[in-house]
A = this chain, B = another copy of it.
């Protein structure tokens, strides 16, 4: 089935940190890869914004172009690697590449989250593959296992730490005890957070990645609008202290979870990105710094965890070039591997109101008789039972606002709608100064 071939032509869209890494590794490991594939991979063209820009990686000037057609319309280019990021023009370029019958490798989470379904259908129509391992979890193989190795399973849940910036910040707050603002500033200083960190700290990046994982796991096109999202900006050093005291770590989790058996009320898929308490004895609680981890639960395999570097030039290059080698085997052997593209009907994203969790509540109160009883009463009215309570006096430094005591409550599992209603009632109680925090516990 093997065909003699001089080389496989590659076009690269983007020559930033990852693109530069890809170009360098394709050059440095050219001999090994050629032995592996049976013919050399040849980088033919690199699309950049500015040909004259100084680059860390040496790319022959003759390869650089600012004209996308020089890559997308060149018939000697059989594979396009897109590492420019952002929705446009990347999405338009990927459509053109697939329509032209080129294999595509991308690390673009935003495009895959928003348009993955369309691009994958386009790839099938043109008998080529669209590979996107680098879009989630950097160097961790997670897309391929979900696509193929775990296919015997019904996936029950995905629980993931998939944003290195926020995990770095939360780890720093947990170990150093400082404020969110301090930890963010430190992360920016070290290059772990962008000058505008919104995408990371508001959970937008994690939500894109969750869409990609959930789409594969539940065989439905899950879109960013389906994901409930809450960032890490409101976490306080006190929450880390209380969490530790109760045996938990605080992480930004991306969760997709099947609920019910498909025919009852409340059946569907929970999809949410928010800070969460994780029991300290679970591996996810010990994934620190810029590491990522994805835990997949299936009906057969139970829980499998994948952990590793979620970002960085070399780990991302590892995923991109791994996909490129996969595509090269297809091209070199004239085989198109028809990945399963099953879409199940009736997979319904659940709004956050219908999600279930245990809840951590931190409430500032006036230290007077009966406050705790009234709060407990409102929870009981909402059918929410209490697992544990800590009440502490606030010292001067902490008691800046109204109220001089703090009550921390851990509930048993409850419906989000019930909790929200109860919190509304609690806010209106005499002696309650503020409901200062509500954090979900990982399911």
- A residues near B (Cβ < 8 Å) are 1-2, 25, 29, 32-33, 35-37, 127, 133, 138-141, 144-145, 148-154, 283, 286-287, 298-309, 314-315, 317-322, 324-326, 329, 333, 335-340, 342
Q: Which of B306, B314, B335 contacts A337 (CB 8 A)?
A: B335
22 contacts between A and B (CB under 8 A): A1-B127, A36-B151, A36-B342, A138-B301, A139-B298, A139-B300, A141-B141, A144-B145, A149-B326, A151-B322, A151-B325, A152-B317, A152-B319, A283-B307, A299-B314, A300-B315, A300-B318, A301-B308, A304-B307, A305-B307, A329-B340, A337-B337
| Distance in angstroms between the alpha carbons of A340 and B34 in the assembled complex | 11
Q: Chain B contacts of A152 at CB under 8 A?
A: 25, 29, 33, 317-322, 324-325
Given A329-B338, A333-B338: 16 more A-B contacts, CB < 8 Å: A1-B127, A33-B152, A36-B342, A139-B304, A145-B149, A150-B322, A152-B318, A152-B319, A152-B321, A152-B325, A283-B287, A299-B314, A300-B318, A301-B314, A301-B315, A304-B308
Q: Chain B contacts of A302 at CB under 8 A?
A: 139, 308-309, 314-315
Q: Closest residue of chain B to A317, judged by CB?
A: B300
Query: Smallest CB–CB gap between A283 and chain B, Å?
Result: 6
Query: Smallest CB–CB gap between A259 and chain B, Å?
Result: 19
Q: Chain B contacts of A127 at CB under 8 A?
A: 1
Q: Closest residue of chain B to A144, judged by CB?
A: B149
Cross-chain contact B140 with A144 (CB below 8 angstroms):
no
Q: How many copies does the complex hold?
A: 2
Q: Chain B contacts of A35 at CB under 8 A?
A: 342
| Distance in angstroms between the alpha carbons of A60 and B329 in the assembled complex | 41
Q: Which of B140, B149, B299 contacts A133 (CB 8 A)?
A: B149
Query: Smallest CB–CB gap between A19 and chain B, Å?
Result: 15
Q: Closest residue of chain B to A333, judged by CB?
A: B338
Cross-chain contact B318 with A301 (CB below 8 angstroms):
yes
Q: Which of B148, B309, B342 contacts A301 (CB 8 A)?
A: B309
Q: Chain B contacts of A329 at CB under 8 A?
A: 337-340
Q: Chain B contacts of A286 at CB under 8 A?
A: 283, 286
| Distance in angstroms between the alpha carbons of A138 and B315 in the assembled complex | 26
| Distance in angstroms between the alpha carbons of A299 and B139 in the assembled complex | 11
| Distance in angstroms between the alpha carbons of A236 and B322 in the assembled complex | 44
Contacts A127-B1, A329-B340 hold; do A141 and B25 have CB atoms under 8 A apart?
A: no
Among all A-B residue pairs, the 7 with the closest Cβ atoms = A139-B301, A304-B308, A152-B321, A141-B149, A300-B318, A301-B318, A141-B145
Cross-chain contact B2 with A148 (CB below 8 angstroms):
no
Cross-chain contact A326 with B283 (CB below 8 angstroms):
no
Q: Which of B2, B307, B318 contacts A298 (CB 8 A)?
A: B318
Query: Smallest CB–CB gap between A279 and chain B, Å?
Result: 13
| Distance in angstroms between the alpha carbons of A93 and B212 in the assembled complex | 41
| Distance in angstroms between the alpha carbons of A145 and B336 in the assembled complex | 19
Cross-chain contact A300 with B314 (CB below 8 angstroms):
yes
| Distance in angstroms between the alpha carbons of A152 and B150 in the assembled complex | 22
Contacts A150-B318, A151-B325, A318-B150 hold; do A307 and B307 have CB atoms under 8 A apart?
A: yes
Q: Chain B contacts of A148 at CB under 8 A?
A: 144, 322, 326
Q: Which of B36, B151, B307, B335 contacts A340 (CB 8 A)?
A: B36
Q: Chain B contacts of A151 at CB under 8 A?
A: 36, 322, 325-326
